């Protein structure tokens, strides 16, 4: 589903660009010329940085994935990375524009999630190779509905994304293409246990109802055989930053008081008064709450984060 214009990722007009230039010095006890040593160290560092592939990812989810595939051959900038901020309300700035202007490879989500990337690339006449996760997924909006753009919760899509990233990096750095391909294969092998866990949940809980506040986790819950019982009007309104009618809110709350669902999968990154009411209703009814987010939590990589999400879902359903 697409965020409303009021919550869309906006470009800050007229923002001033601040370039931070840093200089470092180092001393070598075996050198008779500290300044020469520092200059050589700086030159070496600059050369190493220049040899890396400059990559910009719209969120740290994709930044982490490309980092695992590119390893020390890439220099990655993740634009949206604050776990406490609603990604839909992110305001892009001229530092983002600068990073994009230098990028060889850009990874965006697509599907209306991070349109500011395309606007900035177009305005800067960028020649970067752009990888669009939604296009790779092949997912489209259902008839009469809207696309769920949160494709990083779909593990088959992430596997295809890994291959696409490896190919793009290999094109930028042919000498290391085989390494990128091997790293992507390793990464994909670590997705397999996640898909196996989803299959196990499906085997044990297929057809059971769950509630959500936003569509963020639906690819994961659908793959696990679970049925979303939340009224569409509720989750759409929450994602678009608008209030729901009292009638729709009551229908949603009744899911929990009537124990029609086994768990609430709650987007902790975009909570508000009405979603808090839903969470409190679930807790009051003794229904487990499974928090999810749209960007990486602090200290987590993609695979660890998703493993924790799937495990939390399985544990909640088993209660």
Are 149 and 224 members of one domain? Answer: no
Are 158 and 263 members of one domain? Answer: no
Is residue 25, in this structure, part of any structural domain at all? no
Are 230 and 174 members of one domain? Answer: no
Is residue 20, in this structure, part of any structural domain at all? no
Which of 150, 173, 190 corresponds to the end of one domain? 190
Q: Which long-range contacts (CB under 8 A, 24 or more apart) does 2-6 make?
A: 2/111, 2/112, 2/113, 2/146, 2/147, 2/149, 3/88, 3/112, 3/113, 3/239, 3/240, 3/241, 4/240, 4/241, 4/242, 6/240, 6/241
Are 186 and 203 members of one domain? Answer: no
Cβ–Cβ under 8 Å, residues 240 and 4: yes
pLDDT averages per 10-residue partition of the chain, 319 residues: 42 34 33 43 49 96 98 97 73 90 97 93 92 97 91 98 98 98 98 98 98 97 98 92 93 98 94 94 98 94 98 96
Are 54 and 143 members of one domain? Answer: yes
Are 11 and 140 members of one domain? Answer: yes
Is residue 29, in this structure, part of any structural domain at all? no
Which of 190, 207, 225 corresponds to the end of one domain? 190
Alpha helix ranges (H) inside the chain: 34-51, 60-70, 94-102, 116-123, 133-137, 155-172, 177-205, 218-223, 232-240, 246-257, 273-284, 302-318
Which of 162, 190, 218 corresponds to the end of one domain? 190
Is residue 233, in this structure, part of any structural domain at all? yes
Range of the domain at 74: 5-15+43-190
Are 185 and 208 members of one domain? Answer: no
Q: Count up the domains in the chain and report the number.
A: 2
Identify the pLDDT of residue 240: 85
Is residue 285, in this structure, part of any structural domain at all? yes
Identify the pLDDT of residue 86: 67
Are 169 and 199 members of one domain? Answer: no
Are 198 and 179 members of one domain? Answer: no
Identify the pLDDT of residue 45: 47
Q: Please report, for the domain that includes residue 226, its CATH number.
A: 3.40.50.1980
Is residue 77, in this structure, part of any structural domain at all? yes
Identify the pLDDT of residue 143: 87
Is residue 10, in this structure, part of any structural domain at all? yes
Are 133 and 78 members of one domain? Answer: yes
Are 183 and 202 members of one domain? Answer: no
CA 82/CA 80 separation, integer angstroms: 6
Are 165 and 202 members of one domain? Answer: no
Cβ–Cβ under 8 Å, residues 128 and 172: no
Is residue 256, in this structure, part of any structural domain at all? yes
CA 115/CA 36 separation, integer angstroms: 47
């Amino acid at each position: 589903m697409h965020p409303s214009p009021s919550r869309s990722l906006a470009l800050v007009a007229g923002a001033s660009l601040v370039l931070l230039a840093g200089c470092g010095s180092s001393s070598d006890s075996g050198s008779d010329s500290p300044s020469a040593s520092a200059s050589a160290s700086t030159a070496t560092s600059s050369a190493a940085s220049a040899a890396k592939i400059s990559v910009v990812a719209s969120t740290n989810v994709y930044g982490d994935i490309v980092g695992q595939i590119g390893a020390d051959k890439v220099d990655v900038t993740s634009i949206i990375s604050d776990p406490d901020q609603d990604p839909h309300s992110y305001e892009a700035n001229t530092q983002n524009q600068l990073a994009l202007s230098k990028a060889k490879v850009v990874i965006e989500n697509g599907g209306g999630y991070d349109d500011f990337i395309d606007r900035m690339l177009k305005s800067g006449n960028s020649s970067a190779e752009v990888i669009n996760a939604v296009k790779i997924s092949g997912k489209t909006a259902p008839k009469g509905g809207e696309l769920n753009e949160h494709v990083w919760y779909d593990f088959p899509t992430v596997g295809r994304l890994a291959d696409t990233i490896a190919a793009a990096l290999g094109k930028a750095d042919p000498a290391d293409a085989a390494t990128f391909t091997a790293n992507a294969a390793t990464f994909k092998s670590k997705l397999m246990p996640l898909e196996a866990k989803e299959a196990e949940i499906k085997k044990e809980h297929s057809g059971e109802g769950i509630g959500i506040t936003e569509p963020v986790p639906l690819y994961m819950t659908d793959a696990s055989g679970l049925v979303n019982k939340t009224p569409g009007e509720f989750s759409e309104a929450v994602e678009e930053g608008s209030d729901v009618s009292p009638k729709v809110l009551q229908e949603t709350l009744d899911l929990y008081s009537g124990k029609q669902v086994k768990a609430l999968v709650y987007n902790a990154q975009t909570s508000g008064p009405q979603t808090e009411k839903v969470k409190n209703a679930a807790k009051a009814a003794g229904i487990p709450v499974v928090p999810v987010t749209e960007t990486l939590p602090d200290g987590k990589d993609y695979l660890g984060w998703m493993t924790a999400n799937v495990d939390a879902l399985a544990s909640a359903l088993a209660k």
